Structure 1
Amino acid sequence: MSLPLADYFAHASNVLLLISYSVRDILWLRWFAVAAAFIVMPYYLAQPTILWPPVMWGTVFAIINLYQIARIYAERRPVVLSADEQRLYDLAFRVLRPREFLAFVMLGEWRTAQPGEVILKQGETTASISIAIEGSAQICRDGQVLGALAPGHVIGLALALTGTPSLIEGRFAERGRYMRWPALDVRAFTDSRPELRAKLQSLVNQDLALKVGRMVAREIE
């Protein structure tokens, strides 16, 4: 007994759905789902009474999947960074994916520092986080220079997050270039992105470990 032609469309659609459940790439899963939705349409339209509800809902699901496919392609486009952004990424943010990094950078602003410009004031709170890509920053207390931070170090993060006054002063010893983020914007941005927050926390821990290691080395010397 041969099957009606329309039945073959229904079987083909379900085969594509089975294949979509076996793929790991979400992009291919959505493409198979779209193909299955459209291939089954002739089956619904060929019935003695056209089955409009499944036609309508199949079209809706296909449109949603096509929209998500477009978003995936947009997200997978190569990320092009400016020279300053590439420098900052190489210095401090290699743990992030380029697109994550670009979204984070858009929260901040680029600043050009002149020699002697203060980015941390002793005895005052700070509401921003800074990372230099050019120029070293001197760390001072009561006018005495304690050391210097090379480009790539996080400046003011713990103070910005806790709201405590700074025990030290930070100022550029030479002309520099740095990125500054408002702490409130960083918190709001990372609160909805726990994975990104964890990555940034790991960067902070690494930066703190490097600073402590250098302090210990100076004490030993």
Structure 2
Amino acid sequence: MYEFIADQVVGINGLINLSNVVFLVAFSVRDLLKLRILAIVGEGLTLPYYYFQGEKLWPPIFWGVAFMIVNAIRIVAIALERRPVVLNNKEEQLYRVAISSIDKREFLRLVSLARWVDCSPGEIILEKGQHISEAIVVMAGDLEAILSGNSRMALRSGQLIGDVSAYSGLASPVQVVARGPGTLAKWDLQHLREFAASRPELRANLLRIVSMDIAVKLREIASPSLAAEELVPK
């Protein structure tokens, strides 16, 4: 009995039993990276067992090495995906003021499609009635949306230019003018639609951002009207 137990713990048989213990632990962990690392260790422990048989068992050795290579590739891919996302100053500002609800890694892919544009005082960013072909976010500067007549609204950092009109393909209902130097982030709408088409979660987040931006602007437009009503004697 002692010899049987010793034979199962040490030597070649001990390796195959140890490998199965490692596989058991691997399938018990929740983290995918740990699972794949343990799977490589377990598979590696089986190779000497197949190699040192009376007749070398090449098929399981070959497939064991193949599984180890596949797991090693996936380990590298997972490690790269889990690296901290590093943003430059402009990207960090854009993320903070406008798109913080999106995962940073997804944001980095999104911002790679953007181009940064500087505007000068008096420059017309968007003409009223103009077809909108770009999604635009105000990064910095003094910009103003002229609604009608004397009705104007200042655009702050992080706000969108175009809103629903841009996504629906409608003409702009306002004129947007730069009152001072400013910086804008722009995306070609066609490229943006194609990018978001296969990413339903990103598309939902973008629509949520647009909806929140519209709500803020409507509140700002309504606030002066409500204040004026309160001043009117009843």
TM-score (norm 2): 0.86
Task: Name the Cα RMSD after superposition.
Answer: 1.8
Instruction: Output the CA distance in 2 between the equivalents of 1:34 and 1:201.
Output: 43
Instruction: Output the CA distance in 2 between the equivalents of 1:156 and 1:18.
Output: 56
User: Displacement of 1:177 after TM fit?
Assistant: 0.8
2:155 corresponds to: 149
Instruction: Output the CA distance in 2 between the equivalents of 1:143 and 1:30.
Output: 65
User: What secondary structure sits across from 1:111 in the alignment?
Assistant: strand
User: What secondary structure sits across from 2:65 in the alignment?
Assistant: helix
Residue in structure 1 matching 2:116, options 97, 110, 114: 110
User: What secondary structure sits across from 2:60 in the alignment?
Assistant: helix
1:198 corresponds to: 204
Decide whether the 8 Å contact of 2:163 with 2:214 is kept in 1: no
Trace 1:51-200 onto structure 2 (pairs within 5 A): 51-141=57-147, 144-200=150-206
Decide whether the 8 Å contact of 1:128 with 1:180 is kept in 2: yes
| Corresponding letter in the other structure for 2:27 | Y
1:33 corresponds to: 39
User: What secondary structure sits across from 2:27 in the alignment?
Assistant: helix
Instruction: Output the CA distance in 2 between the equivalents of 1:202 and 1:58.
Output: 48
Deviations 1:133-162 (A, max 9, x none): 111321114564421111101222422221
Instruction: Output the CA distance in 2 between the equivalents of 1:171 and 1:22.
Output: 60
Instruction: Output the CA distance in 2 between the equivalents of 1:9 and 1:21.
Output: 18
Decide whether the 8 Å contact of 2:134 with 2:166 is kept in 1: yes
User: What secondary structure sits across from 2:180 in the alignment?
Assistant: coil
Cα 1:157/1:53, change in 2 over 3 Å: farther
Residue in structure 2 matching 1:216, options 204, 217, 222: 222
TM-score (norm 1): 0.91
1:16 corresponds to: 22
Decide whether the 8 Å contact of 1:128 with 1:157 is kept in 2: no
Decide whether the 8 Å contact of 2:139 with 2:183 is kept in 1: yes
Aligned pairs, how many? 221
Structure 1 spans left out of the alignment, 5+ residues: none
2:230 corresponds to: none
Decide whether the 8 Å contact of 1:44 with 1:54 is kept in 2: yes
Cα 1:180/1:189, change in 2 over 3 Å: same
Matched residues, percent identical? 35
User: What secondary structure sits across from 2:177 in the alignment?
Assistant: strand
Structure 1 stretches of at least 4 aligned residues deviating more than 3 Å after TM superposition: 141-145
Instruction: Output the CA distance in 1 between the equivalents of 2:147 and 2:215.
Output: 21
User: What secondary structure sits across from 1:24 in the alignment?
Assistant: coil
Residue in structure 2 matching 1:207, options 210, 213, 223: 213
Bigger shift: residues 175-184 or 19-28 = 19-28
User: Displacement of 1:98 after TM fit?
Assistant: 2.3
User: What secondary structure sits across from 1:136 in the alignment?
Assistant: strand
Instruction: Output the CA distance in 2 between the equivalents of 1:197 and 1:25.
Output: 28
